[in-house]
Structure 1
Amino acid sequence: MSTLVTMAASKEAIAIVLDVGPTMNSAPAGEATPLQTAIQAITMILQRKMFAESKDEIALILFGTTDTDNPLVDGDSYEHVSIARHLGVADFDLLQMVQNDIQPGDTPADFIDAMIVAMDHLESGLQGKRGFGSKRLIVLSDLSSPFGDDQLETFIDVIQKFNVEVNFIGPDLDDNDDDAGGAGPAEGGSGDATPGKDKTPQQRAGEAMAKYIIEKSNGASYSFNEALPALSYFQSRQVRPTAWKCLLEVGPNLKIPINGYIKMKEFKLKQSWKNVYAKDPSLEIKRERTHHLDDEEETEVDPDDIVEGYCYGSDRVPMTAEDKETMKYQSEKCFKVLGFTQTEHVKRGHHMGDSCLSVSAEKGDEAAAVALSALIHALYETNCVAIVRRVYAARTSPRIGCLIPHIKADYECLYWIELPFAEDIRTYTFGSLPLKEGATTNKKYTPSADQLKAVDELITSMDLSTAAENEDGEKCEALKPKLTFNPYFQRVYQCLQHRALHPDEPLPELSPLIARCLQRPQAVEVACQASAEKLGKAFKLERVAKKKEDKSGEAMFKENGASKEGPAAKRPKMDDDLAGGIQAITKAKVTEVGTVTPIEDFQDLISRKDEDLFEKACEQMQERIQQIVTDSFGQQFYGKAMDCLKALRTESIKKSESNNFNDFIQDFKDTLITKGRRDFWDKIIAEKQCLVSKMECEESDISKEEADTFMAGEVKKEEATPQQEETTADDLLADL
């Protein structure tokens, strides 16, 4: 699956504020406590940052702890608030601390005090650091602890001044039902704060305060039921694209400075976990590669004495580094338009490469922007694309591609997509099924109108373009590639995280949230059920009983050999690879091309791994062809001789031995004319089994013109005059 590579945002500083007070550790039997659910959410946040290789920095602040550890503590203010982890990049140490070291406290604490401590820690922790464009507070609490609002307005002013985003994860703040408790456990054993209990007046006051802070800071709130599924997906690593600068050459006089950015690229795992430690993790991993001779002592060879070589037939040609450097393709960086063509001429199946390039004008160059805009609109209005030769950098292989115009309301650009060269295209021809109207074969397999209608309804019912709903309740596309994470990557990340934290345990089962990605959307599941049943009725399946076959000679022979009636020494020994039964056993090994089955004998001989045997087989086949033609009564055996000639010619081309065949065919012509077999030569000309030219085999010494000249004038006329026949006879006598 390909993943969009977007412009990486500036680094973000995040302070996670976690409530570990007594109300977070109470839950009905069998239910996860709010603290356990909150720890699960924090774990997912850290995993997303780690596996995305994010440079964002995270701090962890706990409130409700028995002890107090923060720089703002002053008497009764900011008590029971502790900075568990200072601001830094997320790593496995932080992940392990969250999962194993967080303990519930026994004293409630003020969540506003904890947010103020977190904000102060962000400001002090970012001193001297650059590249942080945003700050965020993530508060995970059931909001059941007492709080004070004496510093609330000052705190909100600071949040607004520094543009800090505030997110609350806990109870559902949109639930206004006074009698409603928690929304119940989330999938996977987690639920909203205090699940199954009515909200206390203190909790309602905390929710009202959280709503006020969110409103003033343009923040957001999420229940645990909403947050856990969203956080369960690991994000792809963010990459900052670098512009590929070049000149777009349109003809000899027009050169437009352009910037190329990767719009889409196939995402690949870095697989850095392949570097493992044998025993001591403190030791540095080193790789050593040595070369040894294939002898009894396995003599080690010095790297300076090694030269790469390439096989050329049976010879090995050495190739030094200097030779390779000299033979490298010499080129220069370019982006040159070769021509233009209609869009329909570039088929979707011709798109190649693992990325798509977005081409725009050089920033700040107004003339380049105007020129490129004119080209974009010209291509769009004429429904054309530009065919372009692209060389990424000096001494790199050239690529050919097309430029497709892309125009939107707020921007316009050209998309460059790589196209194949002629050598990259593989043409496979498949015969069409004889199911069309008027077909003469397989009429019983022709689908009926009801069957075609059933298949059409099934396809319609599984349409993903309207299988989901947006926030406004409108139909929209389901499983958009842009918003769908690759479940394979998600599973790899899940296993890596588990192995790092639990090295001695087996890998975990597939997460239900990841497994859900492999299932059809619920709307599609329901919609296609009726169509699938109708399809099953339209296409009736019947179990066909296997026919009882008569015992073959081979089976009978095996039974006789395996019987206990005779002594074991007299039982025939059967090889596993004898697929032809008795015929294969009794058939003698082919040693030469015979006259009974010459083609089979010839194929048998040349299929063996012996280069000298091919030349010998060709000589024998040539003798058999001449013998069959000479011994033929009239044209009785001409068909058989022609089949042998075709087989010889085909295999000579495959084995690049066309010159041997050409020498034979020239001598064979003289032999045929000499022995009065001109009619067979005319048949060779008609069947076009004459000389092999360079067009058919590169090893041939015969050009296409020479081959055509050799055949020209040799076709026998249908009506010959008596004088011409007499002349032909005289010529034959002269040749004798």
Structure 2
Amino acid sequence: MAATKEAIGIVLDVGPSMNQAPPGEETPLQTAIAAITMILQRKMFAESKDEVCLVLFGTQNTDNPLANGDCYENIVVARTLGIADFDLLQMVQNDITTSNVSADFVDALIVALDQVINGMQGKRGFAHKRLILFSDLGGEFGDDQIEKIIAGIRNTQTELNIIGPDFDDDGDDGDAGGASVAVVNGQRKEKTPQQKVGEKMVKHILEEVNGECYSFNEALPALSYFQARQVRPTAWKCNLEIGPNLKIPICGYIKVKDFKLKQSWKKVYAKDPQADVGLLRTSHMNDEEETEVEKEDIVEGYRYGNTLVPMSSDDKESMKYKSSKCFKVLGFTKSDNIKRHHYMGDGVSMVVADKGDDAAGVALSSLINALYETNMVAIVRRVYMANSAPKLGFLSPKIKGSYECLMYTELPFMEDIRQFTFGSLPVKETENQTNKKYSPSAEQLRAIDDLITSMDLTAEDEDGEKNELLKPNLLFNPHFQRLYQCLQHRVLNPDDPLPELSPLVANYLKPPQEVITKCQDNVEKVKTLFKLEVNTKKKEEQTGENMFKQNDEVEPGPVSKRAKLDDSLEGGIADLTKAKVTEVGSVTPVEDFRTLIASKDEDLFEKACDQMSKRAEEIVLDSFGAHFYGKAMDCLKALRQECIKVQWWNLGSSHGLSEGTETGVYKGTVVGFGVQSWIV
């Protein structure tokens, strides 16, 4: 396996100069901790195998393997070299405090380099080494170890990065060195003489080891985004077949692909993070005992109409499509015949000649240039590996100054295309006289065209060349950034609400300032031409439904004319689309009941009342707790209302009923409407 890991030594100054800031502003130490937090986040959420160690200098005590008497004092190895985890992240955020003791940053770099070199012993896969120093260079240091650290960095081929105040190259080399003003978190303040001397020494070290320096203002925006996991490209090797006799050995590499978040942290046990979480799946029959069924006794079934067809794994294997790995050209066509909405798949691949095969390179180059000159593309059949499903795609030529290749994009089969025909918009008055008033004017169309042109995401540089304002290789997915931010906050602060969106990510979502400035006039013009008016809510029209709305409180007595009108308006066009109702069902019992009694058949009314009462009883008995009690109450209300409307006046003294009771009589049958019980 190729060496791809990186060993990183983080050196943090916690001396007194790092804790000085105007009231209400962040101190350099707080800014440095935020930057280190972002570095650790990038490593953890990208699931990187890089290893990190943390060295603090300017501490009250001394704890490092190089300490001997007066050497390497006030330097602590807070974390030895290892993979970044939440324990390290929590320690950085909560356990680092300042002190009133200064320490030598050169000695701290030597301790960190020793930790990196010794921590790599016995481990494989490291390709890079890096030291990152966070300091405002306000503490004292000695120059007797300068040549030692320079030689150590050179001999071990370690990269050195220093993050601190602004390093200005405009200062006079004859004086203490560098600019006289430091900028931290947007605040300008005069550099101390010690900072000027430290800056001069840092520049000397960086020149000798070819290192780089950054200010806090430069480092924080760059570190605020979590990079995706870097994947080493793997070649897909095959032969590009053109006809029966021509075969060109090629290699396919993924150029663009939809990034799927790898969630190895998805299954955790909060009470014991070290415990392994296992999965246990069991299958049970849908019976009272919920009998468990072994996996070997289960066969998948597929419905074909009303028939359930069993399909075993052997049946599936025998019916599986048999194919072999191939990359075959089916034909050629003009590139104009391939529409953009025909593109499928989750990515695009680059096809180049097999490495080291000169004959294949010449042959593929000829094909690429021929397609380019004739404005053609090749339609190909691709089978990724044996027994995998065949795919249809096209190869388009791509020629750059440094390379040339074919770009493979997947195409749909005929069954994948859905043809939908939509009516055209009334752009011109002659097209649709019905919507003539909605047709835009020529001035409105021109304003929209100008707005679209002004929102072009390209800008000219000083040489007049157009450059992209949002380059895909420099963009980050804000969804992942927000997810990582919330995960980190939840781990470190489990009882607090989720934080607000990071301002850096929020600013990243805004359009480029160049585009906003360029399209501002066109936006105002569109606002003027397309006026928006507040659509006030119209007064409710006096419709038949509103006029003859049913009243839940029906007064006793003979059926009034209003009740007859209500009955005559029941149903309507909506009922024409419904299936014929023959009984009171359990899904919509009230609607079914009203539909049955609408026929005015007395026998059917009695039957519907009987069904309604039984259905209400079933709903109550089958209810899970009080879940369906409301539905049963609706049934009782509907039953009571309809019985009152039909024959309330049949209340008789023979039954001992008074006019105010909630009991009715229909054809000599007592109808009760108590809360706990009812009789029909």
TM-score of the pair, normalised by structure 2 = 0.78
> Which of 1, 19, 37 is residue 43 of structure 1 equivalent to?
37
Aligned to 2:654: none
- For 1:125, the equivalent position in structure 2 comes to 119
What amino acid sits opposite 2:215 in the alignment? S
Question: SS at the partner of 1:183?
Answer: strand
Q: Does the alignment pair 1:61 with 2:89? A: no
Judging changes above 3 Å, is the alpha-carbon distance between structure 1 residues 365 and 184 closer, same or farther for their aligned structure 2 residues?
closer
Residues 277-317 of structure 1, C-alpha deviations (whole Å, 9 max, x = no match):
26444432121111111122222222222111111111111
1:371 to 363, 374, 382: 363
1:96 maps to which residue? 90
* Partner residue, 1:211: 203
What is aligned with 2:216? 224
Higher mean Cα deviation, 400-409 or 564-573?
564-573
- Alpha-carbon distance in 2 for matches of 1:586, 1:366: 80
Partner of 2:513: 522
Contact 1:8 1:238 in 2 (8 A): no
Contact 1:55-1:89 at 8 Å conserved across structures: yes
Deviations 1:624-665 (A, max 9, x none): xxxxxxxxxxxxxxxxxxxxxxxxxxxxxxxxxxxxxxxxxx
Verify: 1:398 aligned to 2:390, yes or no.
yes
- The answer to which of 397-406 and 521-530 deviates more is 521-530
Instruction: Name the SS of the counterpart of 2:214 in structure 1.
Output: strand
Say whether 1:312 aligns with 2:335: no
| Alpha-carbon distance in structure 1 between the residues aligned to 2:56 and 2:475 | 34
Contact 2:184/2:216 (8 A) holds in 1 = no
Cα separation, partners in 2 of 1:309 and 1:581, compared to 1, 3 Å: farther
Residue identity in the other structure for 2:11: V
| Contact 2:139–2:194, Cα closer than 8 Å, also in 1 | yes
**2 CA distance for matches of 1:568 and 1:62?**
93
Question: In structure 2, the residue corresponding to 1:402 is in which secondary structure?
Answer: strand
2:150 is matched by which residue type in structure 1? I
2:242 aligned with 1:254: no
Query: Following superposition, which runs of at least 4 residues in structure 1 exceed 6 angstroms of deviation?
Result: 472-475, 568-574, 586-589, 603-608
SS in 2 for 1:373: helix
Aligned counterpart, 2:495: 504
- Of the three residues 328, 343, 355, the one matched with 2:320 is 328
Query: How far apart are the structure 2 equivalents of 1:276 and 1:568?
Result: 70
Name the CA distance, whole Å, in 1 between partners of 2:3 and 2:259.
19
Match of 1:283 among 275, 287, 292: 275
Partner of 1:460: 453
For 1:500 and 1:216, locate their aligned partners in 2 and report how far apart those are by CA, in whole Å.
42
- Distance apart, 1:201 and its partner CA: 0.7
The Cα of 1:151 is off from its aligned counterpart by: 2.9
Are positions 1:488 and 2:479 aligned together? yes
Cross-structure match for 1:407: 399
CA distance in 2, matches of 1:277, 1:87: 27
- Work out whether residues 340 and 385 of structure 1, in 8 Å CA contact, stay in contact via their aligned partners in 2: yes
1:303 is matched with which residue? 295
The 1:537/1:241 distance shift into structure 2, 3 A limit, reads same
Q: Is the 8 A contact 2:169 2:179 kept in 1?
A: no
Give a deviation string over 1:652-694, Cα, whole Å, max 9, x none.
Answer: xxxxxxxxxxxxxxxxxxxxxxxxxxxxxxxxxxxxxxxxxxx
| SS of residue in 1 equivalent to 2:472 | coil
Match runs of 1:594-613 below 5 Å = none
Deviation at 1:397, TM superposition (A): 0.5
CA distance, structure 1, for counterparts of residue 394 and residue 529 of structure 2 = 46
Q: Is the Cα–Cα contact under 8 Å of residues 562 and 571 in structure 1 kept in the other structure? A: no
Q: Measure how far apart 1:245 and its partner are.
A: 1.4
Spell out, residue by residue over 1:449-496, the C-alpha distance to the aligned partner (whole angstroms, 9 max, x if none): 3222322332233222129x79x9987432222211111110001011
Return closer, same or farther for 1:443/1:206 CA change in 2, 3 Å cut-off: same
Give how far 1:167 is off: 1.1
Equivalence for 2:79: 85
Q: CA deviation at 1:529?
A: 2.7
Counterpart for residue 444 of structure 1:
437
Contact 2:28 2:184 in 1 (8 A): no
Matching residue of 2:551: 562
Number of aligned residue pairs: give it: 573
| CA pair 327-439 structure 1, distance change in 2 beyond 3 A | closer
Which residue of structure 1 lines up, in the alignment, with residue 525 of structure 2?
534
Distance 1:341 1:466, change over 3 A: same
* CA displacement, residues 227-276 of structure 1 (integer Å, 9 cap, x when unaligned): 11111111111111221111111111111221111111101112334313
Q: Which residue of 2 aligns with 1:623?
A: none
Instruction: Confirm or deny: 8 A CA contact 1:52 1:236 kept in the other structure.
Output: yes
Name the SS of the counterpart of 1:289 in structure 2. coil
Name the CA shift for 1:473/1:183 in 2 (closer, same or farther; >3 Å): farther
Question: In the alignment, which residue of structure 1 is the partner of 2:70?
Answer: 76
State the distance in 2 between where 1:528 and 1:569 align: 73
561, 571, 575: which one pairs with 1:585? 571
Native 8 Å contact 2:224 2:504 kept in 1: yes
| Change in CA separation of 1:216 and 1:81 when aligned onto 2, cut-off 3 Å | same
Q: Tell me the amino acid that sits aligned with residue 19 of structure 2.
A: N
Q: How does 1:116-155 map to 2 (within 5 A)?
A: 116-155=110-149
Post-superposition offset of 1:563: 7.8
What is the CA deviation profile of residues 562-609 of structure 1, one whole-angstrom value per residue up to 9, with x for unaligned ones? 2867349979999xxxxx9965526897xxxxxxxxxx7xx766999x
Partner of 2:159: 165
- Cα distance change on mapping 1:141 and 1:571 into 2, 3 Å: farther
Change (3 A) 1:22 1:447: same
Higher relative contact order (CA 8 A, sep 6+): 1
Superposition pairs of residues 226-245 of structure 1, within 5 angstroms:
226-245=218-237
SS in 1 for 2:183: coil
CA distance in 2, matches of 1:547, 1:505: 46
What is the letter of the counterpart of residue 443 of structure 1? K
**Kindly, what percent of the aligned residue pairs are identical?**
62
CA–CA distance in 2 between the matches of 1:17 and 1:408?
A: 43
